[in-house]
Chain A
């Protein structure tokens, strides 16, 4: 057994898993506060990454400027999307809500393909050093940065939801919409804000992933990969999303390792999380940290 490789893969898994966790957090945030299941999460990553790429390449702005500009664009985009498309969906059956986000996902995915083409584009070099050696493990600079960004985002989420006025308002709305409204919280603003946060944070993840693997259509797959993570953690638990993300990230790398070494089935990296997903749904549908939906007659 090749322990070196396994360790490397596990470290990679944790790094990617943290990003899954960040995307999962956005998903959970939107689900918790607006009860909308966002199948278009992956497109947020895609759009964010393409916008940042276009600003870098066509307008030749410095990286930090285009990064911040694209985040601002995504915040506006998220709010606009919520206002135009998702507000009429409040109170509709769940199938309509799911389908409308799927519709959005198809629309933006092909729009991005139309505008930017199908071939992957790479970001210009941002770091001088390609990779860095920590404790004998080779870690790419971009990965290191993505880990730091992921941890910073998580810390920011924690601070925002524990101490800030808006964060508390959002938690109150998620807990009970009507009571929150009667206490003077603008539920409309909370909805808009949660979409804006989800769009910006996902776009950050998209830009980071784009720097590692290049920007292409495959970024939107992340929006689907996030489902195993959030289901494992429980759909309405932010901690659960992080834990689920890391577990799924490690799991797919370990599955890939065992597959390439022993089993030779192929494609385990992509498909293993979905087997796990089905098994979790079978035995523990509300995940590790999710609130159980108890029905009494």
Chain B
């Protein structure tokens, strides 16, 4: 079917190979490659503000993808993803500052360290599920947060840690323009890896556990092993993302990795669509742009004479937080399957146009 340019309406796959392809049609593959090519030239025509947002989308996207593997594909719940993200950030800075490990090595190493921590907290988690798991990960969020504030040798305590910019063969990625390529490269690598993971035996095991864990166990899938593995992979993603964040900002402080960040990651995958790789990216873009749109909206309102209400202008920070809460509630009530589902519906509408129903 990879020779087709358009997808027929209906599922006509006849072999595993067809079932396993990443790009279902030539068109989709062409569009994806073209999008990557366009993104490669983005720094030429985007100004600094949008470039910052793009970098933000990249590292948040990697972390959110990790969470989606855990929540959306394996059906586990984690309220501690923000802490793992922070752990990756501190770990990379610590490896670089204390042991002089070059940054391009310390980022993946930080990912593996976070994976270790994630699996450590995942051990009790492998035995419990649902609500109990949510509360256990909530506890780990607070414990890790407390560790950041206390462990001076690791995180610099309350004063935070500084992180060197990434250098490769003497070239320092210390501007937005250059770091953009690092972030883009990491984003694409991690997304392709996730796509491939989901096509593999392990990925199918995750989905089987999510859909019906008892049946999965009967079929010979080791629940504990795969739950733990899923925790590990998700923390690895969080660690890589956190490390990128640290070396992008150049400074890590413990205040940023609260439960609110964990909730924001969960919000991203709920808005985007749980169990959808494409949806993860949509959700992240939505959540990154939401506060920006709100601030520029209030900025415009401030110019006009009817909209210059001090209550709104001063309360912008609270309005942003409230908007996040509202968006979570709204999506869960009106579109529980997220933007990915909505996108599929829009596509279907046009595919069957004018005979859609």
Are A110 and B140 neighbours in the complex by a CB distance under 8 Å?
Answer: no
Q: What are the residues of chain A within 8 A of B185 when measuring CB–CB?
A: none
Q: Which residue of A lies closest to B130 (CB)?
A: A94
Are A275 and B143 neighbours in the complex by a CB distance under 8 Å?
Answer: yes
Contact stretch, chosen from B10-18, B95-103, B193-201, B325-333: B325-333
Are B135 and A96 neighbours in the complex by a CB distance under 8 Å?
Answer: no
Beyond A274-B139, A285-B128, whether A92 also contacts B322 by CB under 8 A is no
Q: What are the residues of chain B within 8 A of A274 when measuring CB–CB?
A: 139, 142-143
A265 contacts partner chain B, Cβ-Cβ < 8 Å: yes
Contact of A114 among B135, B136, B322, B329 (CB under 8 A): B322
A231 contacts partner chain B, Cβ-Cβ < 8 Å: yes
Contact stretch, chosen from B58-66, B297-305, B313-321: B313-321
Give per-residue flags for A265-280: 1 if the beta carbon is below 8 A from chain B beta carbons, else 0.
Answer: 1110011001101100
Are B332 and A104 neighbours in the complex by a CB distance under 8 Å?
Answer: no
Q: Which residue of A lies closest to B71 (CB)?
A: A95
Q: What are the residues of chain A within 8 A of B136 when measuring CB–CB?
A: 277-278, 281
* Interface residues in B, total, Cβ within 8 A: 42
Are A271 and B146 neighbours in the complex by a CB distance under 8 Å?
Answer: yes
Are B318 and A114 neighbours in the complex by a CB distance under 8 Å?
Answer: yes
B243 contacts partner chain A, Cβ-Cβ < 8 Å: no
Are B143 and A114 neighbours in the complex by a CB distance under 8 Å?
Answer: no
Whole-angstrom distance between the Cβ of A257 and the nearest chain B Cβ? 18
Q: What are the residues of chain A within 8 A of B35 when measuring CB–CB?
A: none
B284 contacts partner chain A, Cβ-Cβ < 8 Å: no
Give per-residue flags for B120-144: 1 if the beta carbon is below 8 A from chain A beta carbons, else 0.
Answer: 0001100110111011101110110
Q: What are the residues of chain B within 8 A of A275 when measuring CB–CB?
A: 139, 143
Give per-residue flags for B265-278: 1 if the beta carbon is below 8 A from chain A beta carbons, else 0.
Answer: 01100100010000
7 contacts between A and B (CB under 8 A): A94-B77, A95-B71, A96-B270, A98-B134, A106-B325, A228-B139, A267-B146
B324 contacts partner chain A, Cβ-Cβ < 8 Å: yes
By a beta-carbon cutoff of 8 Å, the part of chain B in contact with chain A is 71, 77, 123-124, 127-128, 130-132, 134-136, 138-140, 142-143, 146, 149-150, 214, 218, 260, 263, 266-267, 270, 274, 315, 318-319, 321-322, 324-329, 332-333, 336
- Give residues of chain A (70-99) contacting chain B, Cβ–Cβ below 8 Å: 85, 88-89, 92, 94-96, 98-99
Are A231 and B135 neighbours in the complex by a CB distance under 8 Å?
Answer: yes
Q: What are the residues of chain B within 8 A of A144 when measuring CB–CB?
A: none
Are B328 and A102 neighbours in the complex by a CB distance under 8 Å?
Answer: yes
Could you say which of B77, B214, B326, B329 has the most chain A C-beta atoms within 10 Å of its C-beta? B329
Give per-residue flags for A107-138: 1 if the beta carbon is below 8 A from chain B beta carbons, else 0.
Answer: 11111011000000000000000000000000
Are A285 and B71 neighbours in the complex by a CB distance under 8 Å?
Answer: no
Q: Which residue of B lies closest to A105 (CB)?
A: B325
Are B77 and A103 neighbours in the complex by a CB distance under 8 Å?
Answer: no
Are B319 and A114 neighbours in the complex by a CB distance under 8 Å?
Answer: yes
A295 contacts partner chain B, Cβ-Cβ < 8 Å: yes
Whole-angstrom distance between the Cβ of A75 and the nearest chain B Cβ? 21
Q: What are the residues of chain B within 8 A of A92 when measuring CB–CB?
A: 332, 336
Q: Which residue of B lies closest to A266 (CB)?
A: B150
Are A285 and B127 neighbours in the complex by a CB distance under 8 Å?
Answer: yes
Q: How far is the CA of A265 from the CA of B131 in the complex (A)?
A: 31
Q: What are the residues of chain B within 8 A of A111 when measuring CB–CB?
A: 318, 322
Could you say which of B138, B327, B333 has the most chain A C-beta atoms within 10 Å of its C-beta? B333
